[in-house]
Amino acid sequence: MNSPVSRREFVALGAGVVAGAAMTRATSDHDTPTHPIRHFEVPLPIPRVLEPIRTDATTDYYEIVQREERVEILPGRHTVIWGYNGTFPGPTIKARRGRTVSIRHVNRLGTPTVVHLHGGVTPPESDGFPMDHVMPGEAREYVYPNAQRAATLWYHDHAMDHTGRNIYMGLAGLYLLEDDEERSLGLPEGPYDVPLLIQDRLFASDGSFHHKTVNHLGAKSGTMLVNGAPWPRLDVSTRACRFRIVNGCNATPLRLALSSGDPLIQIATDGGLLPVPVVCRQIPLAMAERVEIVIDFSRHSLGTNIVLQNLNTRGATGPISNEIMQFHVGRVEHDSRTMPTHLAEGQPVDRSAAIRTRQFVFSVRPSFGPRPGPSWRINGRRFDPETPIASPGYGDVEIWRFINKRFLGVLGIVHPVHVHLVTFKVLERNGRPPLAHETGWKDTVALDRDEEVSVIAKFEGYRGRYLLHCHNLEHEDHSMMARFDVV
């Protein structure tokens, strides 16, 4: 899972397929050292929770305007972002299980957009199919029934061929779905329940975002932003805090750890709470995966600094920081509540309920022509919006086997596989049980080079047209995506 890839291979990965195509800038995927950014100086911002414009007995109605804004991300410099309501990240939506959320998105950008609620059990017309564009000047209403478990979801752009650029420019926000069961547990809440949306960015010297796709390998970038701030600092008190961590990077898989050596107490995966907390020394978190952890700062004395680290610097092409953000223990506070030992009902998976197994091979082929580059594919095919790659029947339980195949012995790269509509359980990773951090409900699973991962899912909720794709956004935009239909 964590086998290192050398810089040579990362470069070969592009150069090997792109015969003759220049890869001259492939080695400069981190910020220029002429603009050093001091770590842990900017306080961690918490994205504002959006208020509904009206509510009725069943539904909360929101309106979001997608527009350009000039914001200060790097101290003293300005960056033009494309933001939901002009903010980066977008405002947080707080939803409750069983109450519908209806969001009218108005596009005031100069480019077509699409909104997808990642992790949502959403009717097909609101799921954000890449061709369902909201054109500049137009609006579209997206309806989310929220008939699903509490979980940390996020909403982001999904426009055909331009998802990577649109999200890089800022079109992403958090969507926190709560339910009574979760609220009754007494987990840290209010200011002690902190979302951390991690996104890396590359900045041009004028402060603008530089979305460099490196020939569709992926826009890995050197400056770590959390909730839109570079290497921020959070002042915490001597008590437990809950963190909802989203890997919102375009192409950077993370491996989370704490500099103090403290374990990460994991309480949730993409699809919500685990049955019991799981203790992890490190947590790999590929793009679009979410993990919720509790950190107990009561063991530390005042003044202690603890760094949230990314130990996965694989694929980096220069010195790259392993730091994400810092927790500064700055206040004494007592919390009498103890961490619950039981979080959610057991979630056994009956493998024998599966009525069929399908196989999806994630591979790459060189492509030539005016814009040569790797062509990322599923089962050898580019994205075809007209033809489903699979059509499970409504209510069917299926095993989906994902295989990452290299090209000519190179091209080993992580493909985080995301299935819309359903949550699944990982049955096996390379013939072994799933890793500790991925035992709960998932909607995205990391598929590293040469790996095979089997998942099991029940296809229910809605009938219609959905997507299976790689969440390396540059792979997704360069056709590693497939339509599936629930029939």
251 is a contact residue toward Cu ion (CB under 5 A): no
Pairing verdict, β 283-285 and 290-296: unpaired
CB 219, min distance to Cu ion, A: 12
Q: Which residues contact 52 (CB under 8 A, 6 or more apart)?
A: 60, 61, 62
CB 469, min distance to Cu ion, A: 8
247 is a contact residue toward Cu ion (CB under 5 A): no
CB 122, min distance to Cu ion, A: 23
Token pair, residue 447, equals 């598929």
For 366-383, give the secondary structure using H, E and C: EECCCCCEEEEEECCECC
475 is a contact residue toward Cu ion (CB under 5 A): yes
Q: Which stretch binds Cu ion (CB under 5 A): 127-135, 161-169, 445-453, 466-474?
A: 466-474
Considering the complex, state which of residue 282 and residue 472 has its C-beta at the smaller distance from Cu ion.
472
Candidates 315, 472, 479, 481; binder of Cu ion (CB under 5 A) is: 472
Cα(first)–Cα(last) distance of the chain, in Å?
35
The footprint of Cu ion on this chain (CB under 5 A) covers a number of residues equal to 4
Q: Which stretch binds Cu ion (CB under 5 A): 165-173, 274-282, 395-403, 464-472?
A: 464-472
CB 245 within 8 A of CB 54: no
Site string for Cu ion, 380-399 (x = CB under 5 A): --------------------
Q: Which stretch binds Cu ion (CB under 5 A): 76-84, 95-103, 248-256, 471-479?
A: 471-479
Candidates 224, 470, 481, 486; binder of Cu ion (CB under 5 A) is: 470
Enclosing H/E stretch for 182:
helix 180-183
Considering the complex, state which of residue 77 and residue 405 has its C-beta at the smaller distance from Cu ion.
405
CB 402, min distance to Cu ion, A: 11
Burial of 447 (0-12, 13-18, 19+ CB in 10 A): buried
Tracing tokens 């939803």 back to the chain, one arrives at: 95
CB 54, min distance to Cu ion, A: 41
> Binders of Cu ion among 114-153, rule CB under 5 A?
none
Enclosing H/E stretch for 166:
helix 163-168
How far is CA 213 from each of CA 30, 186, 202, 308, 318, rounded to the nearest angstrom?
A: 13, 43, 11, 27, 17
Amino acid at 87: T
Considering the complex, state which of residue 194 and residue 251 has its C-beta at the smaller distance from Cu ion.
251
188-207 burial string, b = 16+ CB within 10 Å, else e? beeebebbbbbbbbbbeeeb
Considering the complex, state which of residue 62 and residue 362 has its C-beta at the smaller distance from Cu ion.
362
H helix intervals, 208-274: none
Token pair, residue 282, equals 């490190």
> Binders of Cu ion among 398-417, rule CB under 5 A?
415
How far apart, in whole angstroms, are the C-alpha atoms of residue 117 and residue 157?
9
CB 360, min distance to Cu ion, A: 12
CB 386, min distance to Cu ion, A: 22
Local structure of residue 78 (DSSP, 8 states): -
CB 199, min distance to Cu ion, A: 17
> Binders of Cu ion among 253-272, rule CB under 5 A?
none
Residues found near Cu ion in the complex (CB under 5 A): 415, 470, 472, 475
